[in-house]
């Protein structure tokens, strides 16, 4: 017998839950794309995209998902035959690099794995070797994801940037923040990131379909000589005087209405409070998984605790099919967990805790997982959900 009636809990790492307020903001008629109100909306959104990236650089909004935003970054600063260095710590930076390879860019992957973060010392050593071998360096850009949702890792972007400077290398630092922007600190200017990109469907609580890019003056100078520039993605075209150039055509009005409301909600809560909420809920999940791991069938994918991110937790399940657990939670209780992807396909499930999420949603998800573990006879330490409750109770005082 199912107990699935009621509101479904979506606990996948994107698209995430869209707030009712954002859906409501989108439920309105279209407006004149040439009139003042829409122009003012675009101006406000571009300012706030830059605000969440923490940059004084230029911001761009694309009608695209994260893969489109990847392409926007690559085409604007690279030429065919250029070489880039991709920092592996999961699946997504490598995927970004694969897109570059298909455009005629030479791609080198600094080997990592699915269970650890990028090591800044390894980045520094590789760039020093490049400088020594190639008279200043042949690598034009370094690509890295702040959070990789496949592995559940968080990379230290500030330390990676410092490693690049220690190496004396002038490659551009390009960062994927799809799973981190609006969920944890990202300091584009302070960390001297040259190009950053993100998408609307995770921490920014808006339906999929908007991609964001921010670029500093150094990247925009490199852009002037980029040979891969194409009309749709081109930054110069989008900096034109006419409003339609900001979107290379008709603006995605209703997504913009939703994004405006999402930004308003984030700023009303306060970004520091948003970051703390994500950390609290992520740590609650980690407390539960830590208890379940006592049964020795369950373990964290990311080995080092400090490298586990605050937006998604990848959980390994030994000797059992994680899809059976996912199916139980969905079919019987209405909780949708993420599945393992890439190297973790068939080996893991993922618990997302990002975007429009609160304690009842996370604690309910953990409780359902615990029910599923018991119902399927999967060995696990008992009391994981209670451990999460106890920890939150200690942290969130009256």
Domain spans, the chain: 20-267, 270-395
pLDDT digits (tens, 9 = 90+) for 30-76: 999 888 999 999 999 999 999 999 999 999 999 999 999 999 999 99
Predicted confidence band of residue 2 (pLDDT cuts 50, 70, 90): confident
Predicted confidence band of residue 159 (pLDDT cuts 50, 70, 90): very high
Lowest mean pLDDT, pick from 152-156, 244-248, 282-286: 244-248
Find the mean pLDDT for residues 125-152: 95
Its pTM surpasses 0.85: yes
CB atoms within 10 A of CB 349: 23
Q: Is the peptide bond before 25 cis (omega within 30 degrees of 0)?
A: no
CA distances 80 to 51, 87, 102, 103, 204, Å, are 32, 20, 10, 7, 33
CA dihedral (294, 295, 300, 305) in degrees, to 10, reads 0
Cα–Cα distance for residue pair 33/244, rounded to 1 Å: 8
Structure tokens that stand for 222 in this block = 């490199």
Structure tokens that stand for 98 in this block = 């694969």
The pLDDT assigned to 4 comes to 77
8 Å CB contact between 93 and 73: no
Structure tokens that stand for 193 in this block = 């990131």
- Closest to 49 (Cα-Cα) out of 288, 194, 215: 215
Over 70: is that where the pLDDT of 1 sits? Answer: no
42-45's contacts with Cβ under 8 Å and 24+ in sequence apart are: 42/243, 42/246, 42/251, 42/256, 44/260, 45/256, 45/259, 45/260, 45/263
Question: Helices 271-292 and 359-375, interaxial angle, to 10°?
Answer: 10
The pLDDT assigned to 324 comes to 97
Q: DSSP state, 8?
A: P
The pLDDT assigned to 134 comes to 81
Find the mean pLDDT for residues 294-313: 97
CA distances 305 to 25, 51, 155, 272, Å, are 39, 30, 12, 22
8 Å CB contact between 199 and 65: yes
- Domain 270-395 in this protein, CATH class: alpha beta
Q: What percent of the chain has pLDDT over 70?
A: 99
Over 90: is that where the pLDDT of 353 sits? Answer: yes
The pLDDT assigned to 103 comes to 98
Find the mean pLDDT for residues 319-323: 93
8 Å CB contact between 242 and 33: no
Predicted confidence band of residue 138 (pLDDT cuts 50, 70, 90): very high
Over 90: is that where the pLDDT of 398 sits? Answer: no
Answer with the residue of higher pLDDT: 244 or 181: 181
- Domain 20-267 in this protein, CATH class: alpha beta
Cα–Cα distance for residue pair 73/228, rounded to 1 Å: 10
Q: Around 55, how many Cα atoms within 13 Å sit in the side-chain half-sphere?
A: 27
How many angstroms from the chain centroid is the CA of residue 388?
Answer: 24
Over 70: is that where the pLDDT of 15 sits? Answer: yes
How many angstroms from the chain centroid is the CA of residue 181?
Answer: 6
Cα–Cα distance for residue pair 183/243, rounded to 1 Å: 30
Average pLDDT value for the chain? 96
8 Å CB contact between 111 and 122: no
pLDDT digits (tens, 9 = 90+) for 223-261: 999 999 999 999 999 998 889 999 999 999 999 999 999
CA dihedral (268, 269, 271, 276) in degrees, to 10, reads 180
Predicted confidence band of residue 10 (pLDDT cuts 50, 70, 90): very high
Structure tokens that stand for 153 in this block = 């890792």
What is the three-class DSSP state of 80? coil
Predicted confidence band of residue 210 (pLDDT cuts 50, 70, 90): very high
């Amino acid at each position: 017998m199912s107990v699935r009636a009621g509101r479904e809990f979506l606990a996948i790492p994107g698209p995430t839950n869209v707030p009712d307020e954002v859906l409501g903001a989108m439920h309105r008629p279209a407006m004149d794309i040439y009139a003042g109100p829409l122009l003012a909306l675009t101006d406000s959104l571009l300012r706030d995209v830059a605000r969440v990236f923490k940059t004084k650089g230029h911001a761009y909004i694309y009608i695209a998902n994260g893969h489109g935003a990847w392409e926007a970054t690559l085409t604007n600063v690279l030429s065919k035959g250029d070489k880039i260095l991709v920092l592996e710590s999961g699946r997504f930076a490598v995927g970004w690099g694969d897109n570059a390879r298909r455009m005629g860019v030479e791609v080198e992957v600094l080997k990592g794995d699915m269970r650890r973060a990028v090591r800044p010392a390894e980045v520094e050593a590789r760039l020093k070797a490049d400088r020594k071998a190639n008279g200043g360096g042949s690598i034009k850009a370094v690509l890295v994801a702040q959070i990789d949702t496949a592995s559940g890792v968080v990379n230290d972007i500030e330390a990676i940037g410092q490693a690049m400077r220690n190496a004396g290398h002038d490659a551009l630092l390009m960062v994927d923040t799809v799973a981190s922007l609006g969920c944890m600190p990202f300091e584009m200017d302070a960390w001297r990131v040259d190009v950053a990109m993100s998408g609307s469907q995770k921490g920014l609580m808006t339906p999929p379909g908007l991609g964001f890019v921010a670029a500093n003056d150094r990247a925009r100078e490199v852009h002037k000589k980029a040979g891969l520039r194409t009309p749709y993605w081109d930054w110069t075209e989008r900096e034109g005087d006419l409003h339609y150039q900001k979107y290379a055509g008709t603006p995605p009005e209703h997504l913009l209405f939703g994004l405006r409301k999402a930004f308003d909600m984030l700023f009303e809560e306060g970004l520091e409070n948003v970051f703390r909420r994500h950390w609290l809920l992520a740590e609650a999940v980690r407390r539960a998984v830590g208890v379940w791991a006592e049964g020795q069938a369950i373990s964290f994918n990311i080995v080092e605790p400090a490298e586990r991110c605050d937006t998604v937790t990848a959980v390994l399940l030994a000797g059992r099919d994680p899809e059976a657990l996912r199916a139980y939670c969905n079919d019987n209780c209405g909780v949708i967990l993420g599945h393992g992807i890439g190297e973790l396909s068939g080996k893991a499930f993922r618990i997302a805790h990002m975007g429009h999420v609160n304690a009842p949603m996370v604690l309910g998800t953990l409780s359902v997982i615990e029910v599923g573990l018991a119902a399927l006879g999967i060995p696990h330490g008992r009391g994981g959900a209670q451990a999460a409750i106890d920890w939150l109770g200690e942290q969130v005082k009256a």
